[in-house]
C-alpha cells in the first residue's frame, strides 16, 4: 500500500469516527435537554397510559416554563429518586387540594373558592374513587394538602391503584406528599409505541 492510500484510509477512519462522536453527542444533548423516551411500568396511569407503552418526554417544556395542572409528567419521587414515576399534576404551588367522598377539590390560591375538579380523563372504574392512602382503602373522609411554593401534588389516573402524593412517606413513616419542581423531568408529549396507539397527549382544560 502506498503512502497516499494509507493517508486516505486513515482520513476515512478519522472521518467515520468523528461522525460517530458527533451523532452520539447530538443524541445525548437531545435526550438531556429536549426529548427522551421512557417506558411505562405498572398500571398506575390506566387508562391514560398502559403498562409497557413507550412515551416521549418533552424536557424543553419545563426549561422554558413550569408544569401546569393536568400535565402528565415523569418525575423522581421523594421516596425513591432513582426510579422515575409517571403521574398527573393536580395541585399547583399555593393550592389547597382536598380529597373527600371520593372526589378531588381545588382551592386555587389562598383566596379562591374551593371547586370540584372535573376529571374527564378518569375511566369509569376510577371516577369518584379518589380515596385517602392506601388508595384502595375506600376511606372517603376528608383530608387536605396545602401545596408549598415550588412544589406540586401528583396523582395517578388509576386512583385505586396508584402510589402517588397520597402515599409518599419518609423513613419514619411521615407523609411527604409534595414533589419539588426540580424533580420533574418533563411532560409526557407523545405515546410512541405500540404503533396502534401513537398519539399526542393533550392536557385537559379545567373549569377553575
Residues assigned a catalytic role: 44, 87
Beta carbons within 10 angstroms of residue 36's beta carbon: 17
Q: How far apart are the first and last CA of the chain?
A: 77
CA-nearest of 101, 191, 180, 175 to 141 is: 101
Cα distance between residue 109 and residue 115, in whole Å: 12
For the chain, how are helix, strand and coil distributed in percent, rounded to 5?
A: 20, 30, 50
Asked whether 188 and 75 are in contact (CB, 8 A), the reply is no
Asked if residue 162 lies in contact with residue 155, where contact means CB atoms within 8 angstroms, the answer is yes
* Residue showing cell 435526550: 31
Measured in whole angstroms, the distance separating CA 186 from the mean position of its chain's CA atoms is: 7
Instruction: For residues 164 and 77, give the distance between their C-alpha atoms in angstroms, rounded to a whole number.
Output: 8
Amino acid at each position: 500500500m502506498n503512502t497516499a492510500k494509507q493517508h486516505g484510509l486513515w482520513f476515512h477512519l478519522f472521518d467515520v469516527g468523528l461522525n460517530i462522536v458527533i451523532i452520539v453527542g447530538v443524541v445525548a444533548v437531545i435526550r438531556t435537554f429536549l426529548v427522551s423516551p421512557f417506558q411505562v411500568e405498572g398500571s398506575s396511569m390506566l387508562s391514560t397510559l398502559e403498562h409497557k407503552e413507550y412515551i416521549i418526554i418533552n424536557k424543553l417544556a419545563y426549561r422554558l416554563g413550569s408544569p401546569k395542572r393536568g400535565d402528565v409528567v415523569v418525575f423522581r419521587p421523594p421516596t425513591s429518586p432513582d426510579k422515575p414515576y409517571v403521574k398527573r399534576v393536580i395541585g399547583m404551588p399555593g393550592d389547597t387540594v382536598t380529597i373527600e367522598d371520593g372526589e378531588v377539590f381545588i382551592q386555587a390560591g389562598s383566596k379562591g373558592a374551593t371547586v370540584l375538579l372535573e376529571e374527564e380523563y378518569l375511566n369509569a372504574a376510577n371516577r369518584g374513587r379518589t380515596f385517602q392512602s392506601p388508595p384502595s382503602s375506600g376511606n372517603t373522609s376528608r383530608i387536605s394538602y396545602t401545596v408549598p411554593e415550588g412544589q406540586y401534588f401528583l396523582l395517578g389516573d388509576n386512583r385505586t391503584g396508584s402510589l402517588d402524593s397520597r402515599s409518599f412517606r419518609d423513613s419514619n413513616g411521615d407523609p411527604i406528599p409534595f414533589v419539588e419542581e426540580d424533580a420533574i423531568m418533563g411532560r409526557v408529549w407523545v405515546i410512541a409505541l405500540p404503533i396502534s396507539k401513537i398519539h399526542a397527549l393533550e392536557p385537559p382544560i379545567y373549569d377553575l
